[in-house]
Amino acid sequence: MTGHELIPGFRYLPGHFDRAAQEALVGEIRAVAAAAPLYVPVMPRSGQPMSVRMTNCGALGWVTDRDGGYRYQDRHPVTGRPWPPIPASLMRLWAEVSGYPKPPQACLVNFYDATAKMGLHQDRDESDLEAPVVSVSLGDQCLFRIGGTARKAPTRSLRLSSGDVVVLGGESRLSFHGVDRIYPGTSTLLRDGGRINLTLRRVDP
Ligand SMILES: O=C(O)CCC(=O)C(=O)O
Ligand SMILES: [Mn+2]
């Protein structure tokens, strides 16, 4: 995308992680998913399943279900066990790019298969909105869309590749954003294809 400078606080760091670092991260996320299995989240009220599969690591994890709505909790909703810790490489990433003194409390792991997407939304379930959201892409490319703080504000699209990092901070912290599509077969990182997205979040001030 050109012109991403137009949203103050939004940063796009293409290729932040090289191939070796991406492979190491995938190994760490596989270990997270072994302890805290991916599950299919459902939307509040409607109970409609999302197309991504999710898990978390960190003291807190972002969850959604029909009755409880969007929230953070310290347990995996299916196993009832605490989430595994955030890998050290991701803690370092936060220290490098967040510009925020306190560490992240949650890392949401989204897995997209070839047909998954994520509708335009704001990340606003955190009580600390001073901290940015730091996002890592691994595997197949996606079409990421980001707009303004009003749902109907104009949006820009950006093709995110494996190893890219995006920071939603400052005025972009509450920008609407989403993933319109995955481009299957655009990465060899994940043996069976698909895309992993990791978002690091600070929840409490
Ligand atoms: O997959 C992405 O790049 C975005 C994910 C996202 O916005 C979220 O999990 O809140
Ligand atoms: Mn989001």
174-193 tens-digit pLDDT: 999 999 999 999 999 999 99
Hey, which of 51, 70, 109, 118 would you mutate to test ligand 1's pocket, going by the most ligand atoms within 8 Å of its Cβ?
A: 118
Cα of 136 to ligand 1 centre, how many Å?
9
In angstroms, the CA 16 to CA 38 distance is 26
In angstroms, the CA 197 to CA 110 distance is 5
User: At 2, is the pLDDT very low, low, confident or very high (cuts 50, 70, 90)?
Assistant: very low
Type of residue numbered 162: S
DSSP 82: B
Q: Which domains does the chain have, with CATH numbers?
A: 4-40+50-201 (2.60.120.590)
- The reported pTM is 0.96
> Nearest to residue 142, comparing CAs of 119, 157, 161?
161
Token pair belonging to 51: 């197309």
Q: What is the CA radius of gyration of the chain?
A: 16
